[in-house]
């Protein structure tokens, strides 16, 4: 007899784990299928990268009781400074102007991973690992999922709802026959931690160049998290530079707002693509996070968008639990898609548009960009609207995003 779950989540990274912890509170029996055991170095969600958590994401995590697990390792972003290399325009956003303690926070992925895994151990969630989905079948009242585990042994599990939180190359999305719209930016993100000559002062810098944006985000101990977008055909050369030459090249592109860049840590690189699923639901299946949408890291929206996926789905599932209704019902899945569509479309258009706009070399457009940044800085209503969007506080918000328990 297959083990009965209410909800099975494929993927135990930051998104899948957050969703599991959220929905388990409503009495659902929840299982998480994860290919790599906790703490294994290859676990991609908890690697050396940092995550910029928007203020709205802090609200979600606080409502779930997860924020305290990372709060003491979260560096606040008190200001955001946006500029373009070689142009005069600058836009500044301030937490004080928005009457919030911070616009966002920078946290190491490994710190998030440790906190989430500790929370999972203290919850009713069943973590099934190693486990990879091989196939699934839809029935009238649920799904049966074939998984491969230790020593290639296979078994079948049953659930009423299946959630794909298994990343950009989602196996579940492929098994469901859901296609994607994809754009290769021809860019690669080079990431590292570095130490600048000046105190970052809680400022996150987004500097656009003709080759792509550079982000320097405030971290603890006076360090900054670097996300340097490089043309794909130059990334090997960039990674091969010694530390001094790497910092000199970065300094030339970024400028001296943080003084002389003094020290850089281990570097890694990740290719950048836009991947958006044609649809984010199928019969008894929901896509969340990168399985549904993978965006360019400009403006740091990716994980925050995924947390709003989690918050909306958890909101709808909490309602189903109160009503005693089917968590995999078509009406619930349709409601999820409709609720998420505007937010997803807005953020995709915003991030993709920024990349295209600031890499377009057409001179009249280049001059207009500088003027637009300067004008935005001088227009409080537009700055406020941009800040609300960046903080994840725009549009129709689920209860968790309003700081309310489910």
pLDDT in tens, 30-54: 999 999 877 665 554 545 679 999 9
Take residue 110 and report the two structure tokens written for it. 């490994």
pLDDT of residue 41: 52
pLDDT of residue 150: 83
Q: CATH second-level architecture of 3-181+273-397? A: 3-Layer(bba) Sandwich (3.50)
Task: State how far the alpha carbon of 69 is from the alpha carbons of 24, 59, 72, 247, in Å.
Answer: 18, 14, 8, 34
3-state secondary structure at position 41: coil
d(CA 319, CA 267): 45
Mean pLDDT calculated for residue range 173-201: 96
pLDDT of residue 85: 85
Mean pLDDT calculated for residue range 187-193: 95
Take residue 238 and report the two structure tokens written for it. 């960039």
pLDDT of residue 172: 98
Domain ranges of the chain: 3-181+273-397
Mean pLDDT calculated for residue range 201-213: 93
- pLDDT over 90 for what percent of the chain? 79
Q: Is pLDDT at 180 greater than 60 in this prediction?
A: yes
Name the one residue in this structure whose structure tokens are 């300067």.
374
What pLDDT band is residue 88 in, cutting at 50, 70 and 90?
confident
pLDDT of residue 377: 81
Q: Is pLDDT at 116 greater than 90 in this prediction?
A: yes
pLDDT of residue 374: 73
Mean pLDDT calculated for residue range 232-245: 97
Q: Which residues contact 221 (CB under 8 A, 6 or more apart)?
A: none
What pLDDT band is residue 299 in, cutting at 50, 70 and 90?
confident
- Enter the DSSP assignment of 5: E
Mean pLDDT of the chain: 92
Q: Do residues 315 and 398 touch, judged by C-beta distance below 8 A?
A: yes
Q: Do residues 51 and 112 touch, judged by C-beta distance below 8 A?
A: yes
Residue 202 zone, left/alpha/beta (φ > 0; ψ -120 to 50; rest): left
The helix (run of H) or strand (run of E) holding residue 358 is helix 330-358
pLDDT of residue 352: 86
d(CA 325, CA 332): 10
pLDDT of residue 37: 79
Q: Of 321, 289, 22, 307, nearest to 167 (Cα)?
A: 289
pLDDT digits (tens, 9 = 90+) for 252-262: 999 999 999 99
Take residue 386 and report the two structure tokens written for it. 């941009």
d(CA 293, CA 53): 17
Q: Is pLDDT at 178 greater than 90 in this prediction?
A: yes
Task: State how far the alpha carbon of 259 is from the alpha carbons of 77, 85, 194, 196, in Å.
Answer: 19, 16, 12, 6
Q: Of 305, 232, 226, nearest to 273 (Cα)?
A: 232
pLDDT digits (tens, 9 = 90+) for 337-376: 999 999 999 999 888 878 777 776 667 766 677 777 777 7
pLDDT of residue 3: 65
Pick the more confident residue, 210 or 286.
Answer: 286
pLDDT of residue 42: 52
């Amino acid at each position: 007899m297959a083990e009965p779950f209410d909800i099975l989540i494929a993927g135990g990274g930051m998104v899948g784990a957050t969703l599991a912890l959220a929905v388990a509170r409503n009495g659902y029996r929840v299982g998480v299928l994860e290919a790599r055991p906790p703490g294994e170095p290859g676990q991609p969600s908890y690697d050396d990268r940092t995550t910029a958590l928007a203020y709205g994401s802090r609200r979600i995590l606080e409502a779930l009781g997860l924020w305290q697990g990372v709060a003491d390792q979260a560096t606040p972003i008190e200001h955001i400074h946006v500029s373009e290399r070689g142009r005069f325009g600058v836009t500044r956003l301030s937490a004080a102007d928005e009457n919030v303690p911070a616009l966002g926070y920078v946290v190491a992925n490994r710190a998030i991973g440790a906190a989430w895994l500790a929370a999972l151990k203290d919850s009713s969630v069943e973590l099934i690992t190693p486990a990879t989905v091989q196939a699934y079948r839809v029935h009238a009242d649920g799904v049966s999922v074939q998984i491969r585990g230790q020593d290639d042994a296979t078994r079948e599990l049953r659930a009423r709802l299946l959630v794909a939180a298994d990343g950009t190359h989602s196996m579940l999305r492929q098994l469901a026959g859901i296609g994607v719209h994809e754009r290769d930016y021809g860019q690669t993100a080079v990431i590292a931690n570095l130490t600048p000559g000046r105190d970052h002062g809680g400022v996150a810098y987004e500097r656009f160049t003709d080759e792509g944006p550079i982000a320097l985000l405030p971290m603890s101990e006076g360090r900054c998290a670097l996300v340097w977008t490089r043309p794909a055909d130059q990334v090997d050369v960039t990674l091969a530079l010694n530390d001094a030459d790497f910092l000199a090249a970065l300094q030339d592109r970024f400028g001296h707002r943080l003084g002389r860049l003094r020290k850089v840590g281990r570097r890694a690189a990740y290719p950048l693509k836009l991947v958006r699923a044609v649809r984010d639901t199928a019969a008894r299946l929901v896509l969340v996070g990168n399985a549904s949408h993978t965006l360019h890291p400009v403006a740091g929206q990716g994980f925050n968008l995924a947390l709003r996926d989690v918050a909306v789905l958890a909101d709808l599932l909490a309602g189903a639990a109160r009503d005693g209704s089917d968590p995999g019902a078509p009406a619930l899945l349709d409601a999820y898609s409709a609720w998420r569509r505007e937010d997803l479309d807005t953020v995709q258009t915003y991030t993709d548009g920024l990349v295209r706009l600031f890499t377009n070399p057409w001179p009249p457009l280049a001059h207009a960009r500088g003027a637009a940044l300067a004008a935005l800085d001088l227009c409080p209503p537009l700055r406020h609207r941009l800040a609300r969007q960046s903080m994840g506080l725009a549009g129709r918000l689920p209860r968790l995003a309003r700081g309310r328990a489910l």
